[in-house]
Structure 1
Amino acid sequence: MTEFVLVPGLFTGPDAWRDTAGKLAAEGAKVQVVDLGPARDLEAHIARVVAAIDTIAEGQDVVLVGHDYGAYPAVGAADRRAHRVARIVYLDTGPVQDGAVPLAAVPDQELREVLAEDGDIKGELPVPLREEWRRWGSTAGLSDEALNRLTAHASPQPHGTLLQPLRLTGAGNALPTTGVLCAESGATIDTVRMLLRFGDPTIKALVRPDVTFFELPTGHWPMLSCPDELADVLLRAAADEGTRLEAVGEEEATQPGYLRPFLLDVPEIPRERCGAIDLYVPEGVHVPEGAETGEPRPAIVFVHGGPVAEDARPTPRDWSTLIGYARFAASQGAIGVTLDHRLHAVTAYPTAAEDVAAAVAEVRADPRVDADRIALWFFSGGGPLTAPWLREAPSWLRCLAANYPIMAPLPSWGVNDPRFRPAHEVAHGGTPPFVLIRVGREAPAVATTVAEFVGAAEAGGAPVEVIDVPGAPHAFEGLDHSDCAREAVREAMGRVLGRLGLK
């Protein structure tokens, strides 16, 4: 027999879980929803979850379910009662460790910074207004009735619950865990696998046979948007079902798509490493001895996505995909450029933008480069880095391009920096030409950002050209060598080269 202990997240209480709890009970499981109530700090919330566990008869399998902030008291209670807990379920939130501060559960970077600086443990976050819930997570799937209910039953969140660090003894470290990902929040099993291949140390720690994952096609409050489906997932998690990261397979884990052979046969043009950049120069392009310039060529700078762990090896400029594009560009007469930038976290876009700007300046200073004919080509999580170039496009920037881009910070990132929202820029028009490769097998949250960008471009009359690859996955170049995928890459390169005066 399994008994579920459901721990609510920010602002929410037992009412939000009413339908999911009812479905679990109808399926024969026992259920408790912890009322965290007016307790003022994290330890008090942990004590309430511990008290719920202590009411359960010995021999029952206890499954703790923590939703966003609720993961902290759930994990804290599991540490105190490890011998009673069969599994911890993280619902639309990441794993938490000793010393973690629950403030990380607040999905608003600016608000986190204000609370951390203020340090007022006696205050509280007011209940969001009905139209403000989007600040706290994706509302995808929520009906008007559900939003009304969420608002009506919400309670203020005491600052003390967010500012007190989680203290663990390590007793629960080996407990089985399950992550329930909400796709409309931006997290999918595919994105978790991608982070694993990027070397994310947090994800590496989850490659264990007792760690499983499920994915729901909804937003941040599945207990309201799809309560029955959530109950089914929780029952399956308790039965040790779900996707395991080890199922990625040895070959795929050691050789992810971006390190596999490029989908096009391109010449083996050697690289020239010049500080932060690598150049792939067309044959015969040089500066004659004694001359200040030779025959300058336009350049295409390929900007990787991320976040990529700081210690990931090889670094992005040595990835097969980026090298393939740079060599392809060089084979067509342009100087191809790759670089490494410091997008090591979703909060690092300002630093990465500075790195990209510095690399572009270095490229333009090379005497073999026509400084008045430059294109920038972005990938995946590099999409937000297009915004500064759309906002203040210099005359020498002839074109922007992006492959399967994330065109705005995802809801789960908690990053609201307006400087990195490309849709805001194209909505005003007057931006450089933009070539966008859109894949058919895209994560829903990512596809939403692309749709918003394309819609804003159409409204503003911005010159955005979309090339679709219907059956292709994110980062398809090493995974999909179909004729359709090859033709999309050739077409995109042709359009970019055309803007540079090479076609």
Structure 2
Amino acid sequence: MSNFVLIPGGGSGPGYWSLLEAELRRRGHGTIAVDLPYEDEKAGLEEYADAAVTAIGDRRDLVVVAHSYGGFTGPLICDRLPVELLVFVAGMIPRPGENPGDWWQNTGHEAALRESHLRDGRDPDGQDAYALFLHDVPRDIADASLEDSRDQADTSAKAPWPGQALPNVPTRALICTDDRFFPVDFMRAVVHDRLGITPDEMPGSHMPMLSRPAELADRLEFFRGA
């Protein structure tokens, strides 16, 4: 069995992993939903990695699951601890020396997002959090996840990613075909460009751990055993 290290996306607490944690624990796995110091003005990516390593402690058989902005933290853990597998889930894949704040322009995210909204008949300037991130999540679960959000300081977005390279560990990228924030064609291109692999795909919004926790657990178990 594995210990799944769950790294939250920007401005998020660990609570939105709870449904996935229940699924993985039911199957006999351990989980560590990391609470990153997003609100700390003094904390950058190194400090985020410190928090994750502290939360992991002496546990091993690690599978790091990095969601969205957590993609800038997940690989750093792999440089510090023996990690068996790194999985980006709708993840921002960094390059050495790249500021997270520059990732959006470097990848062409704004243009891709606007094109996707217009193509699908959505107002590109009128999307709230429910419509953009949580459109397939039951409202009570979506509300609870937003209540666990953080006011993220911008410290981590301004400093270069400190990794020398992406870690030399088995790596998968899982993207969501109904993601309105990271459109699927955009993510296919990012994954191919930055990892040189074809991403795995599943249905769902930007938050599959809330809308499809059992299917996400299936995917993670499959990656672990592949």
TM range (shorter): 0.7 to 0.9
Q: 2:114 — aligned with what?
A: none
1:11 Cα deviation from its structure 2 partner = 1.8
1:157 has 2:160 as partner: no
1:33-432 correspondence to structure 2 within 5 Å = 33-37=33-37, 38-39=39-40, 40-56=43-59, 60-81=60-81, 84-103=82-101, 104=103, 109=110, 132-133=128-129, 137-170=132-165, 173-185=167-179, 186-187=183-184, 192=188, 195=189, 202=193, 205-207=195-197, 213-240=199-226
Name the aligned partner's letter for residue 99 of structure 1: G
Runs (4+) of structure 1 exceeding 4 A deviation are: 105-110
Q: What fraction of aligned residue pairs are identical, expressed as a percent?
A: 25
DSSP-derived class of the 2:69 partner: helix
Residue identity opposite 2:135 in structure 1: A
Kindly name which structure, 1 or 2, has the bigger radius of gyration based on alpha carbons: 1
Secondary structure of 2:71 counterpart: helix
| Higher relative contact order (CA closer than 8 Å, sequence separation 6+) | 2
Give the match for residue 339 of structure 1.
none
Counterpart contact for 2:78–2:167, Cα < 8 Å: no
The answer as to whether partners of 1:41 and 1:164 remain within 8 angstroms in 2 is yes
Q: For residues 368-406 of structure 1, give each alpha carbon's deviation from its aligned partner in whole angstroms, at most 9, with x where no partner exists.
A: xxxxxxxxxxxxxxxxxxxxxxxxxxxxxxxxxxxxxxx
Paired letter, 1:238: R
CA contact (8 A) 1:138 1:184 kept: no
- Find the aligned partners of 2:154 and 2:92 in 1 and give their Cα distance: 21
Tell me, what secondary structure is at the counterpart of 1:181?
strand
Deviation per residue, 1:481-500 (Å, 9 max, x gap): xxxxxxxxxxxxxxxxxxxx
Q: 1:88 to 1:109 in 2, by over 3 A?
A: same
The SS at the match of 2:79 is helix
2:9 is the alignment partner of 1:9: yes
Which amino acid in 1 is paired with 2:210?
A: L
Could you tell me how far apart the structure 2 residues matched to 1:201 and 1:19 are?
A: 30
Report the number of matched residues.
202
Structure 2 spans left out of the alignment, 5+ residues: 112-126
User: What's the offset of the Cα at 1:108?
Assistant: 7.3
Distance in 2 separating the partners of 1:29 and 1:187: 30
Report how far residue 28 of structure 1 moved.
Answer: 0.7
Deviation at 1:138, TM superposition (A): 3.7
CA–CA distance in structure 2, aligned partners of residues 78 and 228 of structure 1: 26
Aligned to 1:437: none
Inter-partner Cα distance in structure 2 for 1:165 and 1:26: 39
Amino acid at match of 2:26: A
Q: Deviations over 1:237-291 (max 9, x none)?
A: 1112xxxxxxxxxxxxxxxxxxxxxxxxxxxxxxxxxxxxxxxxxxxxxxxxxxx
Deviation at 1:72, TM superposition (A): 0.8
Instruction: Kindly indicate which of the two structures has a greater share of residues assigned to strand.
Output: 1
Distance 1:33 1:215 in 2: 23
CA distance 1:22–1:164, shift in 2 (3 Å) = same
1:168-187 Cα distance to aligned partner (Å, 9 max, x none): 134x5321111111101222
